[in-house]
Amino acid sequence: MSQNFLLYVIGIVGVLFALLVVVYLIINKRMSKKETRYVAQLVQGTKKSVFNMDVFYQKFYIKCTRIPFLRRYALKLRRRLEIINLEDEFITRKQVAAILFKAILIIIPLTFVVIYATHSNYLLMCSLLLFELFFMETLLEGMVDGIDNKLLKQQLDFFAEIRHAYHEYNMVEEAIYEVSQDDEKEVSRQAEKIYEVLISDDPETELEKYYDIAPNSYLKEFAGVSYLTKEFGDRKDKDGASLYLKNLNNITQEMQIEILKRDKLDYVFQSLSMIAALPILFIDVVKSWAIGQFAFTRQFYNGTGGFYSQIGLIVLTFLSYMLTRKLKDNGSVNTAKNMDNPWQAKLYKNKYAKKVIDCFIPKQGTKEYRKIVQLLKDSASKLKMEWLYINRMCAAVVGVICALIVLFMAHKMAINYQFTEPTSDYNLISMSEKDEKKAMETTEKDNVFLYKFQYDYEVTKDILAKDVADSDEYGASTEEELEAITERIWEKLQIVQSEYIKWFEVLMSLVIMIIAYNVPVWLLIFQKIMRQMDMENEVMQFQTIILMLMKIERVNVEMILEWLERYSNIFREPISKCVNNYESGPWEALEELKNDISFQQLIRIVESLQAAVEQIPIREAFDELDTERGYHQEKRKEANERMISKKSMIGKVIGFAPMVVLFVGYLIVPLVGIGMTSMSQAFTTMSTMS
């Protein structure tokens, strides 16, 4: 077997090498075509060898955008990377192509290995190939997150250099321009954009445009503080320090806390996703070991019980993998999704589909409608109401179809088991090769009668007994043997003829359809619960923003609310509502905001804003933020620790659930249950004989 495996591996490697050579020759041949001349000009003067990776990545990007399957991933990556690269088309295409190329180099060999290792088990093969799609998503997101984290860490050095440049020039825009000259760093492109905003004719409008494309909130804060300082001038704090530099220090501390949080989350979840998916690789291993060591488990693992257990374990693995990813990625910065025209919107434009979908969407003003709207807000989902119900209906249809397919396969497997498994009583140890060969001969003899009467539903036991007695296979048997043989074949025939989809199985499929219909809503509830852990973290970020703004001249309550809206995530909806209603009455708008939220720390901030509207200056309303700055920082660190601890605990429960079910539910429980049943039958037989 090892020699065959080596031959397969050598063959696969040879095919991959030949494919790479063919791809290289094709690309090299087409280098002079018109569509790639512009790409070649982009790297004119940088070519170091006959084959240049920059040109290859640009051409590879064009090919990926033309292949339907790869196009989806290419555009998804592009939406995130073009924000970081700020209109630099060449670098964006290069990074997208590089990430996709690395992913393909991993996925293609893995696909060959999966097909080779599971060619005899189509269910497991399909499950692993489907899992590869999820793995590819994780791989791509991990690479993009790496670029995002790299940018965030570069910002620490960038702000440190800004401090030195500001001391030298004492002008915000000149300091930013001086530091932005390093073209090798991603943060330099952001600095150049911020510099262009500050020196533009209408910096306020340009700043609003930059807020829409900034890769993280810290660059937004930096751009906003730099603009306010340029417009209103810098001033000294009570201790004589520059207010602008002090605000830079506050933003830096925020970034340091965020980087530590991300590093800890990456450390906690770095292997949980793989642990959640790992059991799917060992289903066949556990099954083969159990059958090899305990022959009496063959009927369970090769029958419908084992099949249903495999399906349940595969579904649990996929759910655990998805929930683990959601748990880790919840609240991540800069998760860009194209929600302008998704497939749900295209489907809803069809007038016939729209009529059907509208029948399921609750009417506006009803309790159910308000409940779903609130859930979408609380979970910060970008889905519209009709898109959510399209997802629910599609999940229901897929669920009932999959359930019926599984039931059909289970009945087919039960029939196949009667025709292929050795005919023998339970053996508590294992059958020898001689016994197994004899048992298979008995099975082949029994199959003659099963094939003959499989679709004859009017056959009786007497007809079968007469046919067995007159047959060449069992004609020479004694009367007692004929009776036992007839009983055995009759039991097999009853099983074969009864294996069809029954009414209660259809009912079970409908129950699965209802469960699948509610899965999208349950995922939103899960996301809402996870987001509630981040509430305290977001409110503490609000405190930092207010601390930076309250000492700047001409800052009022409305401007503070606009900044809070810009950086809010969980509380964006009620704050946006307050900003829109502010002109009609500041106190009333803030009072309505206070009624819309239930988080006590944010309510205190709103009460301070109410005091700053009519009674006292903003600096005095939030004076405690300055005096308790150290306390709030420590509290935020402790809140992050608690949040990571909670996510870690939930993640470990979800991540290890498939592994526990594999060994306990799929191995130990069947061994104990079938073993106890076999012993009970053996004792009963012995008692009868005695």
Reply yes or no on whether the pLDDT at 514 is more than 90. Answer: yes
Written as six digits, the tokens of 373 are 């709207």
pTM, 2 dp: 0.71
Confidence of residue 340 (pLDDT cuts 50, 70, 90): low
pLDDT tens profile 518-553: 999 988 888 887 777 777 778 888 888 888 888 777
User: What pLDDT was estimated at residue 556?
Assistant: 84
Report the distance separating Cα 336 and Cα 382, nearest Å: 11
Q: Is the pLDDT of residue 686 over 50?
A: yes
pLDDT at 341 (0 to 100): 60
| pLDDT surpasses 50 at 336 | no
Label residue 263 by pLDDT band (50, 70, 90): confident
What is the pLDDT, as a whole number, of residue 331? 44
At residue 14, the pLDDT reads 61
Q: Whole-angstrom Cα distance, residue 60 to residue 58?
A: 5
Residue 397 is predicted with a pLDDT of 92
DSSP helix/strand/coil, 450: helix
pLDDT digits (tens, 9 = 90+) for 41-72: 555 554 554 457 778 888 888 888 888 888 88
pLDDT band per the 50, 70, 90 thresholds, residue 685: low
Q: Which residues contact 590 (CB under 8 A, 6 or more apart)?
A: 557, 578, 606, 609, 610, 613
Long-range (24+ apart) CB contacts under 8 A made by 228-231 are 228/549, 228/552, 228/555, 229/172, 229/552, 230/172, 230/173, 230/198, 230/203, 231/203
- What's the pLDDT tens digit per position in 645-679? 888 888 888 889 888 988 888 888 888 887 777 77
pLDDT tens digit sequence for 473-486: 777 777 787 888 88
Q: What is the pLDDT of residue 20?
A: 63
Neighbour count for residue 50 (Cβ, 10 Å): 6
The confidence score (pLDDT) of residue 4 equals 57
Three-state SS annotation for 478-535 = CHHHHHHHHHHHHHHHHHHHHCCCCHHHHHHHHHHHHHHHHHHHHHHHHHHHHHHCCH
Q: 689: pLDDT confidence band, cut at 50, 70 and 90?
A: low
Q: What percent of the chain has pLDDT over 70?
A: 85
- Bridge partner residues of 242 (DSSP): 236
Tell me: pLDDT of 402 over 70.
yes
Burial 230-240 (b: 16+ CB within 10 A, else e): beeebeeeeee
Buried b (16+ CB within 10 A) or exposed e, 497-517: bebeeeeebeeebeebbeebb
- Give the pLDDT of residue 94: 87
The Cα–Cα gap between 562 and 72 comes to 35
Average pLDDT over residues 447-470: 81
**Nearest 5 degrees, angle CA 620-CA 624-CA 626?**
95
Q: What is the mean pLDDT of residues 249-262?
A: 86
CA gap 298, 434 in Å, rounded: 17
Confidence band, pLDDT 50/70/90 cuts, at residue 393: very high
Q: Are 346 and 680 in contact, with CB atoms under 8 Å apart?
A: no
Query: Given this model, what pLDDT does residue 513 score?
Result: 92
**344-384: pLDDT as tens digits:** 888 888 888 888 888 888 888 888 888 888 888 777 777 88
How many residues would you count in the chain? 690
pLDDT of res. 72: 83
State the pLDDT confidence band at 189, using cuts at 50, 70 and 90.
Answer: confident
Q: Compute the mean pLDDT over every residue in the chain, rounded to the nearest whole number.
A: 79
Backbone angles phi, psi at 236, to 5 degrees: -90, 140
% of residues, the chain, pLDDT over 90: 3
Tokens for 277, please give them. Answer: 């998916």
Give me the pLDDT at residue 230, please.
Answer: 86
Q: Please give the structure tokens belonging to residue 204.
A: 């306020």
3-state helix, strand, coil in the chain (%, to 5): 80, 0, 20
- Per-residue pLDDT band at 510 (split at 50, 70, 90): very high
Contact between residue 194 and residue 223 where contact means Cβ atoms under 8 Å apart: yes
pLDDT given at position 242: 82
Take residue 535 and report the two structure tokens written for it: 């509430």
Torsion sign, CA atoms 137, 140, 143, 147: negative
| pLDDT of 313 over the 70 cut | yes
Report the b/e string of 612-634 with b at 16+ CB within 10 A: bbeeeebeebbeebeeeeeebbe
Q: What is the pLDDT of residues 123-138, one digit of tens each?
A: 778 777 877 777 787 7
pLDDT digits (tens, 9 = 90+) for 297-307: 877 887 788 88
The arithmetic mean of pLDDT across residues 283-298, rounded, is 81
| DSSP track, 97-111 | HHHHHHHHHHHHHHH
Nearest in space to 207 (alpha carbons), one of 215, 195, 218: 195
